[in-house]
A and B are shown apart, each in its own frame.
Chain A
Amino acid sequence: MTLSTGHSAALDFAQPEPPDLSSGKYVKLWQGPQHPGITGNMSLELVLDGDTIVSCKTHVGYLHRGFEKLMERRSFIQNFTVVCRIAVPEPTFNEYLYSHAVEEISGIEVPERAIWLRTMNLELMRLASFLMWIGGQSGAFGQYTVPNWTLAYRDYVLDLFEEMTGARIYHMYIVPGGVRAGLPDGFEERAREIMKGAEKLLDQIERVMFNNVVFKARSKGLGIITPDMVDPYGIVGPNARACGLARDIRKDEPYLAYDRLDFETISGNEADAYGRAYLRLQETRQSINLIRQCLDHAPTDGPFQADMPNVLHWKVPAGETYVKAECTRGEYGYYMVTDGSEFVRRVHVRGPSYTHAIAVMERLAVGTNIADIAGLMVSLHTYPPEIER
């Protein structure tokens, strides 16, 4: 299928005229930051006409810590403990991309075993993150059974992380030069066991959530993304794939071991909240499959870390690079500039939520019912900490 994704003059990015609040026709409402129907710590400034939203403004910055500034005054090895805090529910992508950028500039070769362990780590993270997302999506439409299932099951995945890396959330496992440890004894059997359970759970979720009348009625037709919006708005990941574009960095520009894994890019044909949710469910299954393949192929011996210079006075040569990876929400990227000193010159972190939560959200929200805003927000899958960093 060929789709026109080009930039057409028909799309108008002009900011809409602010509604006239003094007319008495509209109500202004803040959703967040202290609000149960918001993803994380951000807020939406909504103007309503009755039940319908006439304008939406996203406010971010509640989690701003100034990472890019802090990284400029920490040495290269210190930074790797800091970067994972940038996207709280999905830290390993930050670790991987930071390490990869440093390795690329300084020309460090990562051993084969570390490549497979990294791939497995990233896929486990994807599984854990999607499990939490599915719970969030169904919770946003008022069904509280599925979140209880998925969040409890996610904990088993976190247990795997704990075995593998020693931590539940912030693993700090992928270090420049390789990974921090190999797999413990018996990890493989336990991982396979948990994957089996996860598959069963996803089948149940499909039956309970995706066939539910209420969920269908509320999510079908909500927040439709058309293919011609994709490029002008910079939409990536499942949000773009759901409208028929087969774009997946894992497949198109393979990194780590993805060129040796057997999988297909999944794309849907309906980019409403339901279509996106279904696509993510399939991607969760795909991720389970990929973890199994990693378990099959990962070498069990050999070094997992390259020889590194003394990290206390480690100078990285001057250079510049942009590396990216496909996280659950799309393209996650690190742009790094070094100047030959012990400190990095500039790091820019590109999170997919940056456009999804601001430009896309502000457009899709207009005309939606106020009750569906939480569902729409979750269905775009945004994490505020990666927007403001």
Chain B
Amino acid sequence: MIKTLGTEDTLENAGLTDEEQQLFSNARPRAYEPYPIKAVEDFANWARANSLWILAFGTGCGAIELRPLMTARFDANRFGVAGRPTPRQSSVFIIGGYASVKTLKRIIRSYEQMQGPKFVIALGICPINGGMYFDSYNTVNRFDQYIPVDLYITGCMPRPEVLVAGIMELQNKIKAGRCDGANRYVENFDWYKANQKKVIKNWDMPDYNW
């Protein structure tokens, strides 16, 4: 069902040309509401926790340890983890370390295109406070100003064992219903957008990439 939205609910999409404005949706994202019956929600969460599909987007150095993680030795498939090529099919976004400004734009785009429920894991020190690139002109220092993060896995770079531990921790969090990053994004949408636009100077995509 397509809801017609009043002007106060819509996004401006100021970065687009008039022609493009017709092509993209200007609706705001909506928060996820849990099922009214707790047992159903718990079951759904259990199912989500055991089919974590990772978006194949190596955004930084951390991506190199994802390959050993997915192959024979550490074999993350046994946790229900699989790699997916497109954001539409995946539910976990692993931020592999530092995010340069150019990549941040693509991260935002891919993240918004992912369908809920979606979770974000950030690897390494760089997304927390900039790590060893704290003074670099091209990498962001505090990643959760731009995208909400559900779980940090520390290390420079995190070993596959730590990644496995992190995935299990994420599963526990999901089962307990405490992974609300996507909802935080929707609730504080304007704050996140303002932060994003502060660093991305050539904003030429819709405000929310449906």
The answer to whether the Cβ of B58 comes within 8 Å of any Cβ in the partner chain is yes
Pair A170/B156 contact, Cβ less than 8 Å: yes
Contacts of A81 in B (CB 8 A): 132
Contacts of A385 in B (CB 8 A): 61
Pair B103/A63 contact, Cβ less than 8 Å: yes
The answer to whether the Cβ of B35 comes within 8 Å of any Cβ in the partner chain is no
The answer to whether the Cβ of B30 comes within 8 Å of any Cβ in the partner chain is no
Q: How far is the CA of A66 from the CA of B98 in the complex (A)?
A: 12
The answer to whether the Cβ of A34 comes within 8 Å of any Cβ in the partner chain is yes
| Smallest Cβ-Cβ distance to A69: which chain B residue | B137
Q: How far is the CA of A299 from the CA of B156 in the complex (A)?
A: 32
The answer to whether the Cβ of A355 comes within 8 Å of any Cβ in the partner chain is no
Q: How far is the CA of A63 from the CA of B64 in the complex (A)?
A: 14
State which of B9-17, B67-75, B180-188 sits at the interface with chain A.
B67-75
Pair A66/B138 contact, Cβ less than 8 Å: yes
The answer to whether the Cβ of B122 comes within 8 Å of any Cβ in the partner chain is no
| Chain B proximity of A170: nearest CB distance (Å) | 7
| Chain B proximity of A346: nearest CB distance (Å) | 17
Q: How far is the CA of A98 from the CA of B83 in the complex (A)?
A: 36
| Chain A proximity of B64: nearest CB distance (Å) | 5
Pair B157/A70 contact, Cβ less than 8 Å: no
The answer to whether the Cβ of A19 comes within 8 Å of any Cβ in the partner chain is no
The answer to whether the Cβ of B154 comes within 8 Å of any Cβ in the partner chain is no
The answer to whether the Cβ of B56 comes within 8 Å of any Cβ in the partner chain is yes
Pair B136/A70 contact, Cβ less than 8 Å: yes
Give per-residue flags for B132-147: 1 if the beta carbon is below 8 A from chain A beta carbons, else 0.
1101111100000000
Given A34-B87, A36-B85, A65-B138, do A152 and B72 touch, yes or no (CB 8 Å)? yes
| Chain A proximity of B164: nearest CB distance (Å) | 14
Contacts of B110 in A (CB 8 A): 34
The answer to whether the Cβ of B92 comes within 8 Å of any Cβ in the partner chain is no
| Chain B proximity of A194: nearest CB distance (Å) | 14
| Chain A proximity of B195: nearest CB distance (Å) | 20
Given A151-B68, A151-B72, do A170 and B85 touch, yes or no (CB 8 Å)? no
The answer to whether the Cβ of A111 comes within 8 Å of any Cβ in the partner chain is no
| Smallest Cβ-Cβ distance to B101: which chain A residue | A64
Contacts of A335 in B (CB 8 A): none
Chain B interface residue number, banded? 20 to 34
Contacts of A69 in B (CB 8 A): 136-137
The answer to whether the Cβ of A89 comes within 8 Å of any Cβ in the partner chain is yes
Chain A interface residue number, banded? 20 to 34
Give per-residue flags for A146-158: 1 if the beta carbon is below 8 A from chain B beta carbons, else 0.
0111011011001
The answer to whether the Cβ of B204 comes within 8 Å of any Cβ in the partner chain is no
Interface residues in B102-150 by Cβ distance below 8 A to A read 102-103, 106, 110, 132-133, 135-139
Q: How far is the CA of A132 from the CA of B71 in the complex (A)?
A: 12
| Chain B proximity of A276: nearest CB distance (Å) | 21
Given A64-B138, A155-B73, do A33 and B67 touch, yes or no (CB 8 Å)? no
The answer to whether the Cβ of B65 comes within 8 Å of any Cβ in the partner chain is yes
- Most chain B CB neighbours (cut-off 10 Å) among A35, A41, A73: A41
Interface residues in A33-92 by Cβ distance below 8 A to B read 33-36, 40-41, 61-66, 69-70, 73, 81-82, 85, 88-89
Pair A41/B135 contact, Cβ less than 8 Å: no
The answer to whether the Cβ of B196 comes within 8 Å of any Cβ in the partner chain is no
- Given contacts A41-B59, A151-B71, list 11 more A-B pairs with CB under 8 A: A41-B60, A63-B60, A64-B100, A69-B137, A73-B135, A88-B61, A151-B72, A152-B68, A168-B65, A168-B159, A169-B64
A-B contact pairs, 30 of them (CB 8 A): A33-B103, A34-B57, A34-B87, A34-B106, A35-B85, A36-B56, A36-B85, A40-B58, A63-B103, A64-B100, A64-B138, A65-B139, A66-B136, A66-B137, A66-B138, A69-B137, A70-B133, A70-B135, A70-B136, A73-B135, A81-B132, A88-B61, A88-B64, A148-B72, A151-B68, A151-B73, A152-B68, A152-B71, A152-B72, A170-B156
Q: Which 4 A-B pairs have the closest CB atoms?
A: A152-B72, A151-B71, A36-B85, A34-B57
